[in-house]
Amino acid sequence: MYLSTINIRMSCKLSKKFIDITQRFTRFFHNVSPKRRVVCSGIGIVSPLGCGSQLAWQKLIGGSIGVKLNKKPGFEGIPSQVAAFVPTGISHGSFNIPDFIKKGDTKYLSQSMIYALVAAEEAIEDSGWRPTDAKCKQRTGVAVGSGMVDMETIAETSLTLKERGYKRVSPYFVPKILVNMSSGHISIRYGFQGPNLSVSTACTTGCHAIGDSMRLIRNSDADVMICGGTEAAIIPVAVAGFSRARALSHLFSQNPESSSRPFDMDRDGFVIGEGAAILVLEEYDHALKRNAKIYGEVLGYGMSGDAYHMTAAHEDGTGAYLSMNAALQDAIISPSDVQYVNAHATSTPIGDAVENVAIKRCFGEHAYNLKISSCKGAIGHLLGAAGAVESAFTLLALHDKIIPPTMNLFKQDKKAGFDLDYVANEAKDYTSSGKRRIALKNSFGFGGTNATLCFGELQ
């Protein structure tokens, strides 16, 4: 009996050792196995420069600005009197709800959901991905987020309940304010049954949604992901809140188009904007088999937390640095491989300076070889949609070999450390000295949440 017990114990030890060795080999081969490549095969944009990715892109590189004086009622008395609205009307590139949404659907769709649906339709049409068989639909997921809930609907419904009673509250109220419903409605409309999720990480939302989608494809949870960000928060209560936090620009109402001025010496805050961008991300071989158009490849994804303050990053830029460095490591490239950084740069005094410090820390002397620009001079800050719209523009920059400008950069303060190339006011050719074109896209949000995406031209 004693010997039997010893034999059993020895057998168990050997079994555990064998399992441990097997697990180590499994982890080793998993880590060295080639990653599934992820590419972008479709882009849809709703922006202050207009609806349609090519229209918005051509206006961006042509120097157009979508920031206007905010003349809508309800904003009187708020210091910030400028905003970047999606243009409405029946002209080319304008947003006309009847063109996109059936009559009556607005009772359960918020404005941000409508923007997401319109951008998704363009992206899916652009990609040509409309699967009909069950397996393909099950391998197609959706990840679209917003930085803010529909506060206007909440405020109106609260007032309705107080003044008119329970029976006057819409049964669609809750679905209309849920952040994940943009993803839900896209999934329902097209029958996509793969991963269905929504991230809400303030102004980092769009980049997180794209990065998370890339990893879902890379890890074989999906073959195609419809992903991005959407936002429609230009309402009095939101603008009042941001103004009270001293985050918004208020000095240039006499010349509203010059209000958003990333990296400029006279920047005084961001300009609130709205819109959406949706990307179709796809596994590389999957895209090749169907001869899809490819804008570029998602090479890497990095994240970090500032762990410092609710609304401000630490002046040493550690959070932004960690995010960029993580993206480079995930992409398995060195800083010298990058030629362009599409900056988060919102036109705030602290934020732009911190990102500038972080870029120098991440790239060292190579920072002086970089082209750096912020799209927010042209479109304002689209909050949860910003990272998605600017990722779309970054992919178009790689595809068309043009770097978009930082508009309204009139006075570059070199004494304060702004001595890099910020592509002031005019687009530049995207040269690469024969190397593969590679770009980073930064997004940072309240709460210290950071994300960086690394994109590369197709090779």
CA-nearest of 141, 145, 132, 123 to 46 is 123
Rounded distance between C-alpha atoms, residue 199 and residue 250, angstroms:
30
Given a contact cutoff of 8 angstroms between Cβ atoms, the answer to whether 230 and 115 are in contact is yes
297: its two tokens: 């490849």
Contacts of 90 (CB under 8 A, 6+ apart): 96
Q: What is the DSSP letter of 307?
A: -
Radius of gyration of the chain (CA): 24
pLDDT score recorded for residue 19? 39
130: its two tokens: 């409309």
Known catalytic membership, residue 381: yes
Of residues 40, 51, 136, 203, which has the active-site annotation? Answer: 203
Exposure of 63 in the CB half-sphere (CA atoms within 13 A)? 9
Exposure of 385 in the CB half-sphere (CA atoms within 13 A)? 33
397: its two tokens: 């920059």
Of residues 375, 381, 399, 454, which has the active-site annotation? Answer: 381
Q: What is the pTM of this model?
A: 0.92
CA-nearest of 395, 337, 344, 394 to 363 is 337
Rounded distance between C-alpha atoms, residue 425 and residue 332, angstroms:
33
Known catalytic membership, residue 314: no
pLDDT score recorded for residue 34? 72
Please give the chain's pLDDT, 459 residues, in tens: 443 444 434 444 544 454 354 445 444 444 445 789 999 999 999 999 999 999 999 999 999 999 999 999 999 999 999 999 999 999 999 999 898 888 889 999 999 999 999 999 999 999 999 999 999 999 999 999 999 999 999 999 999 999 999 999 999 999 999 999 999 999 999 999 999 999 999 999 999 999 999 999 999 999 999 999 999 999 999 999 999 999 999 999 999 999 999 999 999 999 999 999 999 999 999 999 999 999 999 999 999 999 999 988 999 999 999 999 999 999 999 999 999 999 999 999 999 999 999 999 999 999 999 999 999 999 999 999 999 999 999 999 999 999 999 999 999 989 899 999 999 999 999 999 999 999 999 999 999 999 999 999 998
Rounded distance between C-alpha atoms, residue 181 and residue 277, angstroms:
16
Contacts of the segment 418-421: beta carbons below 8 A, 24+ positions apart: 418/263, 418/265, 418/353, 418/356, 419/368, 420/356, 420/359, 420/360, 420/367, 420/368, 420/370, 420/372, 421/368, 421/370, 421/371, 421/372
Of residues 185, 208, 286, 344, which has the active-site annotation? Answer: 344
Known catalytic membership, residue 30: no
Contacts of 240 (CB under 8 A, 6+ apart): 78
Cα torsion 314, 319, 324, 329 to 10°: value is 140
